[in-house]
């Protein structure tokens, strides 16, 4: 009812949505450069780098979502072999 009184609109406002990814997107070139320079870097190492260099505290899941948005995947390959069965 308050939205009807204030704005004259009866439909609800959108729920949820991303309000913080712009903080990560500002450093996307640097993050992708880190991955190019150090292919075996972990998500936690990227998180630590952002905190040390920029004072940006983010969760590793935020870094994962950023990489997913930019079609970056970490698949096992010849350089990072999985332990073989005995």
pLDDT digits (tens, 9 = 90+) for 25-77: 999 999 999 999 998 899 999 999 999 999 999 999 999 999 999 998 766 55
Q: Where are the domains of the chain?
A: 20-74
Predicted TM-score (pTM) above 0.85: no
Query: pLDDT at residue 2 above 90?
Result: no
Query: pLDDT at residue 80 above 60?
Result: no
Q: Token pair for residue 20?
A: 């913080």
- pLDDT given for residue 85 in this prediction: 55
Q: Which residue has the tokens 């308050």?
A: 2
- pLDDT given for residue 75 in this prediction: 62
Give backbone dihedrals phi and psi of 36, rounded to 5 degrees, phi first: -65, -40
For 63-68, which contacts have Cβ atoms below 8 Å and span 24 or more sequence positions? 63/24, 63/31, 65/21, 66/21, 66/24, 66/25, 66/28, 66/31, 67/31, 67/35
């Amino acid at each position: 009812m308050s939205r009807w009184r204030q704005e004259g609109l009866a439909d609800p406002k959108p729920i949820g949505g991303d309000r913080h990814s712009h903080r990560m997107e500002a450093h996307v070139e640097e993050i992708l450069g880190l991955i190019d320079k150090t292919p075996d870097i972990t998500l936690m190492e990227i998180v630590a780098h952002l905190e040390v260099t920029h004072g940006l505290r983010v969760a590793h899941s935020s870094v994962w979502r950023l990489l997913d948005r930019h079609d970056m995947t970490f698949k096992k390959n010849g350089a990072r072999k999985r332990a073989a069965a005995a």
